[in-house]
Amino acid sequence: MTTEFNELLSLSHGDKLQIWIIGDRDQVIHAMNEFCVKRIATDRAKFSPLIPAWFASGKFMAVLER
């Protein structure tokens, strides 16, 4: 990764693992639901809000912090 991209990563929550889900809107929502069903995430509150991916036009992203 470039230094500029590393600076955009949020490190304010300590050393928590982050899982980035990137895709079109339906793919991201489906993955979030699947993570909850498979108990990778305990609930939807663990995910960031769905936001447009600034680095890929037409794509959305959500971040899961564990």
Q: What is the pLDDT of residue 14?
A: 67
CA-to-CA dists, residue 11 to 6, 7, 15, angstroms: 10, 9, 7
Pairs from 38-44 (Cβ < 8 Å, separation ≥ 24): 40/64, 41/66
Is residue 66 predicted with pLDDT exceeding 80? no
Cβ distance 28 to 61 under 8 Å?
Answer: yes
Closest CA to 20 of 66, 53, 64: 64
Query: Tens of pLDDT along 5-55?
Result: 566 655 555 677 899 999 999 999 999 999 999 999 988 888 999 999 988
Q: What is the pLDDT of residue 54?
A: 85
